[in-house]
Structures are given as C-alpha cells and as structure tokens.
Chains A and B, each alone.
Chain A
Amino acid sequence: MTSINQLFGSDLKVINIGLSAFKQALDDAHAMSVQVDWKPPIEVDAKSANRVKMFRPAIERANAEVLKIILSGMPHLIGLERAIDVIPGMKSDMLLHAGPPITWDRMCGPMRGAMIGALLYERKAETVEDAQRLAASGAIKFSPCHEHASVGPMAGIISPSMPVFVLKNEAHGNFAYCTLNEGLGKVLRYGAYGEPVIQKLRWMEGTLYPVLKKAVAKLGKIDLKNIIAQALHMGDEVHNRNRAATSIFYRTIAPAIVTTCDVPAVAAEVLEFVNHNDHFFLNLSMPASKVTLDAARGVKNSSVLVVMARNGTDFGIQLSGTSDEWFTGPADVPDALFFPGYTRADANPDIGDSAITETNGLGGFAIAAAPAIVQFVGGNSDDAIRYTRQMYEVTAGENNTYQIPYLNFRGTPTGIDAIKVVEKNILPFIDTGVAHKEPGVGQIGAGVLSAPAEPFRKAFAGLARRLTKK
C-alpha cells in the first residue's frame, strides 16, 4: 500500500507525458525525469477496444505461444523444384504475386509489367499486347504468394515453370517456397519484361536451377537461421542488405557446386552469378521468415502478425488469431534515396512480400545491425539504432537467435503485436527497395517507411470480433 506521505518522503521521479516544456522545468529543479514521446493512439471503435481490454490476459497467453513458435522455428533450405510441382494450390493458368489479393485493373505499373513478363516467359503470349489482353481477360488466375506458402520480392511473381527454393521448418514440419533472385538492373520483379529479362529467366531455369538443385541435394539441407544470425553480426539486416548472408551462402554452396556440376565452365558461371548478386540471399531470408511465421498461424486470440506484405497498391497484414483474413489499406511511397535521374515522383508505392523479414524480427527491425545502409534512414546511425529500439515497444518479445551487436547482442524485436501498434501508434518500420511506377524501368532507389495505420486499425477490429473464451 502506497501513500501520499510516502511520496512526500521520497525523491521525486517524474514521467512527463505531454508538453516537453514541463520537462525543462523539472531539469532546472534537478528532479529526475523522463520525457515520453507520446503520440495519440490509432483510433479504433470503442466496442473493439473494450473487447480487447476484456480479453487481454487471453491475448497475452496466445501471443506468448505464438512467440514461442516463432522463436523455435528452424528454417532449412532442403531443395529446389519447379513451382507447379511443389507449391500448394499452384495451377498452370495461375500467377502468384506479392501482397494481398488484387485484380488486374487495380495493379500498379511494375506489377502489371511483371505479369506481362511472366506470361511471355511461360509462352502463354507471343507479344506484350497479347499478354496484356490475356491478363485482362480473366483467363489467368492471380493469387497472393502468401496464400500458397510462398513469398516473392517486389512484384513477387511466381509462374508455374519457375524454379523455386524449397524450405522446411524442421521444428514444425511446414514448408515455404520462393523464386531465385535475378540480380539488379532490369528484372522481372521490378516489372521489366524486355527480351533480356526473359532470356535471364530462361537461363535461371535451364542452368542455375539444375546446378543449385544438385548442389543442395548433395548438402542435404542448409541451416538458414544460422546464416542469418551470422549475417546480422556482419552488417546485414537481410532485407535491404544481404551481402554478408550471400557470402556465407556462397561459401556453403560453392564446394558442392564444384563437386556436383559436370561442366566446370557452367559451375563457374553459376558461382559468378551468385557472387555478383548481393541480394541473392534475399530470396532465402524471405522464405526463411515465411516458413518460420507460417508455423505460428491460427493461434486463437493472438494479435501477433504472421504476414505484412504489399502489392504496390495495397498494404496487407494477417494476424495469427484471425485465420486467413487480410486487413488492408493503401500502400505509401517510401522515403528514399534515389538513383541519379529519378525522384520521388517516379516512385511506385511500397511493393513486395519482403516485409515478411520485418514480421520475423529482421529487416527494418534489425537495422541497428546494418550500419552500412543507414544512409537510407537519413545517414545517421543514431537514427537506425532508434528505429530498432522503438520496435521493441510493439513486439511480443525479443529474438533468441538474431542479435544486434551494437545493443550488447540484444535479440531483435520479434513478433509484431497489432494491439501494441494501435495503442502506441508506433507503426512497423520497413527498409526496402523502391520500384519505378512505370513497368519495365526497374529499381530506382532504396529507402525506408512506416507501415500505414489503416490495416492495423482494421486488424484490431477484426481480432476483437473473433476473440473467444477458449
């Protein structure tokens, strides 16, 4: 039992929430105090807020369970296959894409460009015009990668014949899939569909795929969690910087490629391709996050995110406790550093499934581990550290494997809690590449942004509706 007289007898220690001028007065009086950087909460309806309040203990229990599943995930690369052969629900007339569901008429430029490219690559259309007509005709089914245990960067297109990495969560037995990274420049994932783009995709299918497949088969499996943990100690956050992780992967796979590939020139070609693409590992860090988070789906009452993804038009999230429902809102344009010749006016709104890394405690959540890319957050490493620190306020916990050296090897903030996001109005921080808004131009910069509030507001209400006693 406290009392007012106890207060009179102690040193005053003040938490100042609001006008910062009052903090100044406290400093002048040499009173110990902390200023809270308060923001108004994201507005939600009173009924939802009350339900969430009522169920809070159940929600916390569910979130603890979800966090346990996420932290115990063991993502391994176990092989490579053709999309149509392994991806659940994949059909020959289907194209998978990044982000929440979207129809042709609402697709942004890069997404449409990538769809055209995929149809050309699949030989379903001869010309760009044919491809456009076909895409608009309704004869092609568009479906989100995330609904097929898959993820794709930027436009995130997976077409039936594309080779994909196959990942297994050894702890929980589930699988995830992702295409192979094409490198930078004019590439399909940024909506480019010219002849060189298609040629490269065919080379990947005809050369890269079989060589890697044999090499991975020889190794049996590759522990991706271990590579990611190491990469974080080497300056990657495995979303916008994958140089260290790609290097470790290269060291892991190279001997197996050399021993399994019959033609030395081909082995060299494949190794050169991986070596020259700093983002090669992105297409492994993403499915590694996906396979980790998918195991945590469907825990009743949990407000922890299992998906955060964008299709270039909408930003969508899914919670563990709200089944397969998408909660969406308009995607924003990132604040970015642009390549010479481009400006913000050229930029497409945020796009790609790569925010799955943030959902898994990596990417923007681990940016304090990646000082080399802090210019994307204003050039100030203090900012990067502040972003990571702030994310601890909205996560269910901290990672037991992925750590930030600068923060005394503290685990990265992991398991985004939609309720904390809403109540504190601290939106998840994402660092990402930026696509040109016109199809076919490609990447024009890289930068950072906060997730929009709208999906979280809707998810809060969606979870409130589903909260249940059992």
Chain B
Amino acid sequence: MNVAGQIRKGAYFDSVTLMRVGTEITALPGVIDAAVVMGTKSNRAILNSSGLLSAKFDNASDTDLLVAVKGETETATQSALAAVDGLLKKAINTITTGGESRPSSLAGALNLIPGANLALISIAGRYAGDEAMRALENGLHVMLFSDNVPLEKEIALKKFAQRRGLLVMGPDCGTAIINGVPLAFANVVNRGNIGIVAAAGTGLQEVSCIISNAGAGISQAIGTGGRDVKQEVGGIMFLEGLKALAKDEQTRVILLVSKPPHKDVLRRIEKLAKTIRKPIVTSFVGASTQEDRPSTLEEAALIAVALSQGKPRDEVASRLVARDKEILRTAKREAGKRKRNQKYVRGLFSGGTFCAEAQVLFKTLLTGVYSNAPVGNTKQLRDSLVSQKHSVIDLGEDEFTVGRPHPMIDYSLRNRRILVEAADPETAVILLDVVLGYGAHPDPAAELSGVVRQASRKVSVVCSVTGTNHDPQNRGRVEAALRKAGAIVTPSNAAACNLAGQIIRYRERK
C-alpha cells in the first residue's frame, strides 16, 4: 500500500467538483482511496481519519488544494496523481464556454451581465455572508444556499435587504422557483397561480411537486431558510415574501410551509395574513394541530390546488379519506407478509422536512419512536448509526454530511443503512424518500434498485418520490423502476408514512 499527497497552492474548486474528481480518481485502477479537498482544518481531519494525511499537508492553508491518493502500488498511486490535473481541467471545461474568461468576482460578473437581478450564492458559509452583502449593496436579490452563515450576519443581511426592498432567501435555503426558473435544488414544475413561501426546503419541493402533478402550477416559490421563522430573525423574509405574493397579480392562492415558527413570528404572520384577501393555506409541520389547518404537506398542497381551481377545500378531505382506505388495504396485505417478530419501522430520510413530517404522523400511529432529529415527543436516538424500536433518521443532518455530499446526491451511505436495517430481524418496514430535481442525483433509480430488491425480500419497502415528470430524472420512470425492484411507491411522503404506520398497526393487532 502506498500513500502520496500533493499540495496545489492557491488552486480553488467548488466542493461538488472536487467530490466528483475524487470519486473519479478512486475509480482508477489500483487506487484504494483518494481525496481532493481544500486544505481546511476539518478537511485535514477527514483525510487523517481515512489514512490519507501526509506530513506535507501540515503547512497547507484553507486556500490550498490537497490531493491525496492511497494506491495498491507506488505506480498506481503516481499515475492516479498524474491524472488529477486532467480530471480537474475536464470538470472545469464542461462549464466553461470557449476561451471566454469567467469573472472571478461579483464586480466582474456585473460587467458581463448588466441588469443582473439575483445572486445565487453557494460558497462556504464564512465567506457567503460578505458576498451576499456585496450583492445586496449592488441592488441584487439574493438566494443564499450556503449554510453555516452566522446568525448575526443573517439578521444584518435581512434587515439591510428589507430597507432596500430586496429579497434574501436563506442562508441554508436549498430551493426556490422565481419567475419559473428553478434555483438550486428545485424541480421543474408547471407555472400557475399558487405562490409559496417556505422556511423548509424539502417541504417546498414536496408541495410544489404535488401541486404540479395535480395539474395546477406555481407563480413563485420563495424559500427563506429555516432560521427565518425563529425568534431572532423574526420572520423578516417570510413576511416580506408573503407581502410580495399578496401584491403579485399572478398569485391567487398563497401556501405557507414551515416547521413551527416561533410564537412571536407566528403572531406576526397571522396578523399580516388577516390583511390579505387571497386565500392562504398553511402547513407548519409539527405544530400542534388545529381544526382548520391541514395536517400534512400533501393535504396543504391539495387544498391550495382546489382553491386555485375555484373548488371547495373540503373536497380534498373526502378524496384523502378514500385514498386512506386504499392505504389500509395495502397495509393489511403487507402486514400479512411479515413474520411475527418483524415489528418496527425504520425511516431513512434524505429530506429533513420529511423526517419531521414522519414523526408528526407517527405520533398518533406508533409508540416508541426515536430519531436523531427528534420533534414533538419523539425520543433522541442514543447513537444515530444504530436504530432503536421505530427509528426515523435524517441523513441530511451535519453528523452525516461533514466531508461528504448530501444524501440526495450520494446514495452510498443510505444504501448501506438500508441493508443493515433489512438484516435486522425486527424490522418490518423500511421507509424512504427519494427527491428528484436539479442538484439531486441524476439517476436515483439505478442507485436504489439493487438494495431495494434485496431489502424487499425480507421487509416492506415503502417510499415516495418527490419530483415531476419534467425533472431531469423523470418521476414516472423512477417510480416504475422502484416498483419493479419491489418497493411500494406512494404519491406523497404523508401517504408513505401513513402506510408504514398502518402496516405496523396491523402487525400489532395480529
């Protein structure tokens, strides 16, 4: 075995490009492991733990590119190192057009695209805030995909933007659709007359896809980042977004999606909502249920669809009641296939909102639910890597994503976990979400089919696919492939959770 490293002083590539190149190098003959990362402290710690750290990296700075290769022989290692430059160049060339120079700053970009009106920022959090402020100072609206932006910075940005009439979506805003253009992790949905403000990324994807798949469409979908509705930020952008949709002529129905806002923020939202004459549907996943509030993202989306088409909202409830009967039939059938000691649900989620929604729905269906990201009366898992009783895991939590891509992009971690759960004799149901759209894995069916086929021989695999047929991955195709592999595919996360819960209920009744 042979480990070698190189430092490229001052070379910089975005993390996705580097992960892609790292994967390509690892796939080269004779290479056991490889990494191409910027020389930050945390990256060096990751190299250390994978045995890829060389002593020469000690003096590397954050702005140096580190290349590390572990090969079976020195020849393999050296030829892998020699391939790095070509792969990096190729990765860059796919996005560079001709000999045209790319600007290296916002100022340079503004020269190239006069009248630019939105900056989409996804650089490391500690730099992203300053870059966002520069964009605002230049009169640009901002979508801030980056996470780890300090709270004070978020507040400063949003207050500044509010004074200037500008929008700040994020930090940690994964998705938005402005003027029909999907931004970051967004789906290709119909345009229409439903406007969305969301402080929950996958929540926004779920409702916008359900709306589109139901034949309605989206006017604007504004993300705010999850922290916006906390007390400190005070819902600045949630409220500004709501005001803008209220004034927007294309928007006839407004849909608000969030994990429960702080009570002060909620009061402000409710107060503002009273002044708006358009119908407003809210889905605050995990909030104490109220009579007039839909209980799931799906229900909220379908109510918005009904209202946008001039139909009464009750129509949705009766349709869902009928659907739930169908779910019960499926649940009964699946429960019959399971052995006596198979009694637990294991939910493995890539979307945080879905993990939260699962817990909300399980509250009335199951007892003894554990999670690494508990909401409500769910209990905290002792070890996120080891399930207890009914467990729902958010694999997008930081503990799983440090130094590796998000589970919507990289399925390897969840795939391993699926097999672990399937091998547990007490597992009855494996519950999954699959999120499509830009930014997500280009071929999730190929990634999942093998493990689903294996797992579904022993347990019920239940999953929902968030996406549309216009997404690059094509929802219909993905669903068909998953069904073929043995999964039960439901039209929404809520339906999947309901089905998983009902299977367990039938097991318990036996």
Interface, chain A (partner B; CB < 8 A): 1-8, 10-26, 28-29, 31-43, 332, 381-382, 385-386, 389-390, 393, 424-427, 450, 452-453
Contact = CB atoms under 8 A, between A and B. Distances in A.
Interface residues of B, number: 70
Contacts of B104: 36-39, 390, 393, 424, 426
B95 A23 contact: yes
B141 A4 contact: yes
Task: Please give me the 9 A-B residue pairs with the lowest Cβ-Cβ distance, nearest first.
Answer: A18-B122, A382-B99, A25-B438, A4-B244, A39-B12, A3-B165, A389-B101, A37-B102, A19-B122
Contacts of B101: 385-386, 389-390
Given A10-B117, A21-B439, A34 B10 contact: no
B17 A20 contact: yes
> Residue among B99, B139, B186 with the most chain A CB within 10 A?
B99
A204 to B, nearest CB: 39
Contact of B118 (A14, A40, A386, A393): A14
Contact of B181 (A29, A425, A427): A29
A26 B181 CA distance: 7
A108 to B, nearest CB: 19
Nearest to B119: A15
B109 A36 contact: yes
27 contacts: A1-B165, A2-B164, A4-B244, A7-B179, A8-B250, A13-B115, A15-B119, A16-B120, A17-B120, A17-B123, A18-B128, A19-B145, A22-B183, A33-B113, A34-B102, A34-B103, A34-B113, A35-B95, A38-B104, A38-B105, A38-B123, A39-B104, A386-B99, A393-B103, A424-B104, A427-B10, A453-B63
Contacts of B188: 29
Contacts of A18: 14, 120-123, 128, 145-146
A373 B244 CA distance: 56
A250 to B, nearest CB: 35
A1 B131 CA distance: 21
B95 A11 contact: no
Contacts of B119: 14-17
B62 interface: yes
B112 A34 contact: yes
B184 A24 contact: no
B105 A36 contact: yes
B61 interface: yes
B197 to A, nearest CB: 11
A4 B167 contact: yes
B187 to A, nearest CB: 10
Contacts of A38: 12, 14, 104-105, 123, 131
B480 interface: no
Contacts of A42: 63
B487 interface: no
Given A20-B95, A22-B439, A29 B182 contact: yes
B13 to A, nearest CB: 9
B14 A20 contact: yes
B365 interface: no
Contacts of B182: 25, 29
B242 to A, nearest CB: 10
Interface in B95-145: 95, 98-99, 101-110, 112-113, 115-124, 127-128, 131, 135, 139-141, 145
Contacts of A16: 119-120, 122
Contacts of B184: 22, 25
Contacts of A35: 95, 102
Nearest to B123: A18
> Residue among B108, B164, B184 with the most chain A CB within 10 A?
B108
Nearest to A10: B117
> Residue among B106, B109, B167, B438 with the most chain A CB within 10 A?
B109
Contacts of A37: 102-104
B16 A20 contact: yes
Interface string B430-446: 00000000110000000
B351 to A, nearest CB: 18
Given A36-B108, A40-B63, A381-B99, 15 more contacts: A7-B167, A13-B115, A14-B120, A15-B109, A15-B116, A15-B120, A16-B119, A18-B123, A19-B145, A22-B183, A33-B120, A35-B102, A38-B123, A39-B12, A453-B63
A453 B244 CA distance: 45
A13 B118 contact: yes
Interface string B298-334: 0000000000000000000000000000000000000
A34 B219 CA distance: 24
Nearest to B250: A8
B423 interface: no
Nearest to A386: B101
A21 B124 CA distance: 15
B152 interface: no
Contacts of B127: 40-41
A29 B191 CA distance: 13
Nearest to A389: B101
B10 A17 contact: no
A3 B124 CA distance: 28
A398 to B, nearest CB: 13
B248 interface: yes
B139 A2 contact: yes
Interface string B33-68: 000001000000000000000000000011100000
B465 interface: no
B118 A17 contact: no
> Residue among B17, B117, B248 with the most chain A CB within 10 A?
B117
Interface string B1-26: 00000000110101111000000000
